[in-house]
Structure 1
Amino acid sequence: MSILLSVILPVFVVIGLGFFAAKRRLIPEAGIDGIMRFSQGFAIPILLFQAIATLDLQENFDLRLVGTFYTGSFTCFLIGMLAAHHLFKRDWEDAVAIGFIALFSNSLLLGLPITERAFGADATQANFAIIAVHSPFCYAVGITAMEIAKAKGHPPHTIPAKVLRAIFSNSLIIGITLGLIVNLTGLPIPTVVDEGLDMLVRAALPSALFGLGGVIARYRIEGDMPTILFTLSLSLILHPSIAWLLGTQMNLSQNEFRSVVVTAAMAPGANAYLFAAMYGRATRVAASCVLLGTALSIVTAAVWLALLA
């Protein structure tokens, strides 16, 4: 209970305030959209830029760590997609969107602050190593699978260009890419610029969590409950279980092990809904998974943190 109160609930208090403000129309939908555009389009890309630019890649970018997390992530994608098609009788395009829900954990808005509150800021270096690959990997998998499902006679050689165009128009990936360039080249950041970026970074997670609550307030859980619960079981139970099993085999450090399990245990992120909406596929399932998964993760994350403790 102390873990729940001290670590997880403060994060969900911020989400809850955003939810309440949107539900009560204290902030209009356009205002919530503005907050999300600020956080997702500016503040969080800058947070990622700074974190990746200063990350010790040799020490923290461990292929064992990345492999552990993304083996579980990709496994959940495949199971979710195949189950959606064969078990729940969805067409392949819907199935890809449902698989993407199980693929895309909320590594940034939930995994990062919960890891920091539970284990301290020094424990989040592994989180940033995971996050650096997260959007590029997930969108590459999801977009490639969706474009293949949609191809239906279109020449296959057009698929790589569509995938790359979609990936590198994402502001999060732009921030990560610029951070890697600065890291690898050693380009200095002027002090005055760095201090200005610091101010934006401090606003990134609170504004994003508040905005996430406002966005969730628009959703409503309706229909498709077997599909929703199955998909959430992949995100909240199977993915962290795979991360735990593989992490023990890979001899990860304590901080790496904690980061990979906590991040894997997070509910589907808002990007799961954005991906479904981008293609107009399984949007009701995606919205319901984000809403219900975020609520359920209050309990499931507490369980995983208790096991890690």
Structure 2
Amino acid sequence: MLAVFLQTLPFFAMIGLGYAAARGGMFGPEATSALTKFVFYFALSAMLFRFSADLDLWAVLDWDIVSSYLLACLAVYLLATLVALARRRGMQEAAVEAQVAVIGNTGFLGIPMLVMLLGEAAIGPLLLILSVDLIVFSSLIVILITLARDGRMRPSALRSVGLGLVRNPMIVSISAGLAWSASGWTLPAPAMSFVVILGAAATPGALFAIGASLADKSAERIEVAIWLSFCKLVLHPAAVAFTMLVLIPVEPFAATVVISASALPVAGNVYILAQHYGVAPQRVSASILISTLVSVVTVPMVIAWLSGG
């Protein structure tokens, strides 16, 4: 446990550095927004393109991983939805709370940290579950909120879902990398150097941006935020462990990667969606703050348990 904690500590220390810089006034909201855009649209996209360009889609695509991960996510998603509805929060708030319960920070935190800790063999399973999060659940929250507001699914909402997917730089970069890999072409040396240099900025930039973005997060609705953080940090990885180790067994290393990724704290893009639709942004904000703080301990615990097992 201590060895794993020391390995993960630099990643969380970088998050802490970003938080301290923002709280100290050295890194304001505009700077945080600009850094996040740089990482999201450029550095992380370059990293994902480089990783996926070295993969064989048919060797990486494992429907057992996809189905077991999706089944576990849907179970926790349904539980969080039912608890929200039992509290009479309505379908819009229930959809946002369910999103908080299952969507972890795989892009900004999981891929940089787990690839470094577990090796580049972790890339394939990570890209699979990231694709499930982006394609299935990013679409699902839009559909549920639209249905709750309008009582029906408008063509404009479906168009918005489709455009959101094709414009997402993570989906675009993964798709472009896999397409390049399928072509059999070798990336020219200058282009590869460019992608490597740009992608190298993703890890420190993403971690610093996470910390800086936490500086303006508040801990309101603390009881609900604690429940949602418990769903994300405990129930979600437990459900994934059950489906992958018992219900739909997958290869042990892939299971280790996916369960570890499932233990990550709540993703920042859930807050962006909640703020965009005006549905419980403070609740999401508090959940991101609490889950990130607690994950300093829980993520190493999960990885240590899996490594020992």
Tell me the TM-score normalised to structure 1 length. Answer: 0.92
- Match for 1:35: what amino acid? L
Percent of residue pairs bearing the same amino acid type: 24
2:228 equivalent among 220, 231, 234: 231
- Per the alignment, in what secondary structure is the counterpart of residue 34 of structure 2? helix
* 1:259 positional shift: 0.5
Q: Where in structure 2 are the equivalents of 1:294-305 lying within 5 Å?
A: 294-305=292-303
Give 3-state SS (helix, strand or coil) of 2:201's partner.
Answer: helix
- Number of residue-to-residue matches in the alignment: 306
Report whether the alignment pairs 1:51 with 2:51.
Answer: yes
Q: CA deviation at 1:130?
A: 2.2
1:281 equivalent in alignment to 2:279? yes
- The alpha carbon displacement at 1:221 in A equals 0.5
Among 182, 185, 198, the alignment partner of 1:184 is 182
Q: Within the alignment, does 1:99 sit opposite 2:76 as a pair?
A: no
Q: Amino acid of the residue matched to residue 15 of structure 1?
A: I
Question: Quick check: 1:81–1:95 contact (8 Å CA) kept in 2?
Answer: yes
Equivalent-residue separation in structure 2 for 1:233 and 1:226 (angstroms) = 11
1:7/1:117 contact within 8 Å kept: no
The 8 Å contact of residues 81 and 95 in structure 2, kept in 1 or not, is answered as: yes
Taking structure 1 as reference, are residues 185 and 278 closer, same or farther at Cα in structure 2, changes over 3 Å only?
A: farther
| Contact 2:76 2:239 (8 Å CA) reproduced | no
- In structure 2, distance between residues paired with 1:191 and 1:296: 42
CA distance in 2, matches of 1:194, 1:149: 47
Distance (whole Å) between structure 2 residues aligned to residue 292 and residue 283 of structure 1: 14
Structure 1 residues 182 and 117 mapped into 2: Cα distance closer, same or farther (>3 Å)? Answer: closer
Note if contact 2:147-2:153 (Cα within 8 Å) is conserved in structure 1.
Answer: no
1:227 deviation in Å? 1.7
Q: How far off its partner does 1:33 sit?
A: 1.4
The separation in 1 between residues aligned to 2:131 and 2:185, in whole angstroms, is 19
Q: Which amino acid aligns with 2:243?
A: L
Work out whether residues 52 and 132 of structure 1, in 8 Å CA contact, stay in contact via their aligned partners in 2.
Answer: no
Tell me the CA shift for residue 267 of structure 1: 1.0
1:148/1:159 contact within 8 Å kept: no
Change in CA separation of 1:120 and 1:49 when aligned onto 2, cut-off 3 Å:
closer
Are the equivalent residues in 2 in contact too, given 1:98–1:231 (CA < 8 A)?
Answer: yes
Indicate the residue corresponding to 1:37 in structure 2: 37
Residue 107 (structure 1) shift: 1.4
Q: Which is worse superposed, 225-234 or 293-302?
A: 225-234
Shift of 1:161: 1.8
2:160 maps to 162
**Is contact 2:56-2:178 (8 Å) kept?**
no
- 8 Å Cα contact 1:68/1:260 also seen in 2: no
Deviates more, 1:12-21 or 1:98-107: 98-107
**Distance in structure 2 (CA, Å) of the matches to 1:271 and 1:115:** 20
Given that residues 104 and 266 in structure 2 are in contact (C-alpha distance below 8 angstroms), is that contact kept between their aligned partners in structure 1? yes
- Give 2:237's aligned amino acid: P
Tell me the alpha carbon deviations over residues 186-221 of structure 1, each in whole angstroms, 9 at most, x when there is no partner. Answer: 454332112101101111121011011000111111
For residues 5 and 227 of structure 1, the distance between their equivalents in structure 2, rounded to whole angstroms, comes to 28
Alignment gaps of 5+ in structure 2: none
Measured in 2, the distance between the counterparts of 1:53 and 1:134 equals 21
Pick closer, same or farther for the CA change 1:301–1:102 going to 2, 3 Å: same
Q: Which residue of 2 aligns with 1:16?
A: 16
SS of the counterpart of 1:220? coil
Q: Give the SS at the match of 1:167.
A: helix
Amino acid of the structure 2 residue aligned with 1:231? L
Is there any run of 5+ residues in structure 1 with no aligned partner, and where? none
1:126 match: 125
Structure 1 residue 271 corresponds to structure 2 residue 265:
no
Cα contact 2:56–2:182 (8 A) shared by 1:
no
Q: Which amino acid aligns with 2:268?
A: A
How much has 1:103 moved relative to structure 2?
A: 2.5
The one-letter amino acid paired with 2:265 is A
1:177/1:117 CA distance change after superposition, 3 Å:
closer
- 1:4 Cα offset (Å): 4.5
Cα deviation, 1:31-70, whole Å, max 9, x if unaligned, reads: 1211111001211122122222221222222111122222
Aligned twin of 1:89 = 88
Aligned alpha-carbon RMSD (Å): 1.9
Which amino acid in structure 2 is aligned with residue 239 of structure 1?
A: H
DSSP 3-state at the match of 1:237 = helix
Instruction: Report deviation, 1:21.
Output: 0.5
